[in-house]
Amino acid sequence: MRAVLPLLLGLAACQALPRLAEDPDVPGSILSGQVLIEGDDAAAPTVVLLSSEDAPMPPVGVGLPISFTALDATAYGPAAGGVRSAPFALTDVPPGGWYLTGLLDADRNFHPGVTALATPTCGDRVGWHGESFTAFEPTPIGVPEGTFVQGVSVGPLVPATEPHPTFTTDATVSLNGLPTLRLESTAVSGRFGSPALELTTGAVWPGGDPVCAPSFAFVLADADGDGAVDDSPLVPVPGLFDDRWPRVVFQWLGAPVDDDGDGVTDGFDRGDDEDVQIAVLGDPRLPDGAADPAPEQVVRTATLDVRFSGLGLRILPDGEQELLTDESQLPRGAWGVTVITRQGLLWTVPNELDDLQAAALPEPGRTTPADPSQGVFLLLE
């Protein structure tokens, strides 16, 4: 069966209404608390996203948000102790462990239903529920069955200072063998007006903040400070993979299909694996074989070489996960690319800037001209 938009990563899942507590005999819970921002920050519409402990959202993992709630800028109260807060609540939350991610949409370009806009952008405020208000450590919260869980804090939300990792890449680059691909960053501005959806590419980032200039912040993680690069949390086996930022994930789209024979891909056919998700880690390196920097040393670069690692996960419809370690386990066909920064900023190609993915958008659709560079995908033959 052909599918146009089966994306593993990003917030594309919020284009569909999530199904939460479905069992009437297992009552859902309410998660309630406050979103925090610094006192002098300008308030803006804010979303709180809920993701499972088993499949956490970036930057912790590469999972999808299960649900979200939103609140207006007027929800923030006056500053107290240097902090302003706004109440939030998520309802029908099933029992289990959950991550909460907060996003204050300072530049008003967020929308949960459009992949290209369902991500923080440079200038937004981002944060998580964590054990510490200062440490950059998202922490899951346990939710019992049928309980009103109160006093959950998200944040304080801090400015996303990393550049938005908008990028493009060459089309139809073969991934056979140990391919590499070059990611070149670019700037994309997205705005969701009312009612039109405007997505445009451009070389100049709105606001002109040099921090947000298009580039990748490349860093090898050493969160425990032992001087050695950490193991990637995305791979359950230690020692197999370094924790490198930005994280790059390839996701299987299916076999490209050209219905009308015009040489342009109209969609992807996943066959019997319609509901199976397959993600493979990319191994990002500095271009031109440059040596890795020291752990926690940030290097700004306009391009990244990414190797197709062959390590990945196969996630079945029932949630069961299978570790993939051999290229022969990977399906052939088209693969999308997602880049995730350490602050959880994210970009995916193909996306709705191009007509291929835009076709799946509900009314009013995209009203700006297509950018074919955002419609590219990679082929594994």
Could you list the residues that contact other proteins (CB under 8 A)? Answer: 14, 16-20, 24-25, 27-30, 32-34, 45, 47, 67-75, 86-92, 105, 108, 110-114, 145-151, 192-195, 197, 361-364
Q: Minimal CA–CA distance to 35: which of 99, 92, 102, 131?
A: 102
Give 30 or 302: the residue with its C-beta nearer to other proteins.
30
CB of 331 to other proteins, least distance (A): 24
Give 286 or 361: the residue with its C-beta nearer to other proteins.
361
Give 105 or 124: the residue with its C-beta nearer to other proteins.
105
CB of 367 to other proteins, least distance (A): 11
What does the longest C-alpha to C-alpha distance in the chain come to? 64
Give 257 or 361: the residue with its C-beta nearer to other proteins.
361
Q: In whole angstroms, how far apart are CA 143 and each of 25, 71, 95? A: 16, 22, 5
List of E strands, 12-140 = 29-38, 46-52, 65-71, 83-93, 96-104, 125-128
Instruction: Spell out the residues 6+ positions from residue 272 whose beta carbon is closer than 8 angstroms to its own.
Output: none
CB of 22 to other proteins, least distance (A): 8
Give 92 or 231: the residue with its C-beta nearer to other proteins.
92
Give 92 or 296: the residue with its C-beta nearer to other proteins.
92
Residue indicated by tokens 């790059």: 248
Q: Are 130 and 139 in contact (CB under 8 A)?
A: yes
CB of 297 to other proteins, least distance (A): 38
How far is 325 from 310, CA to CA, in rounded Å?
6
How far is 280 from 295, CA to CA, in rounded Å?
24
CB of 107 to other proteins, least distance (A): 13
CB of 280 to other proteins, least distance (A): 26
How far is 333 from 324, CA to CA, in rounded Å?
17
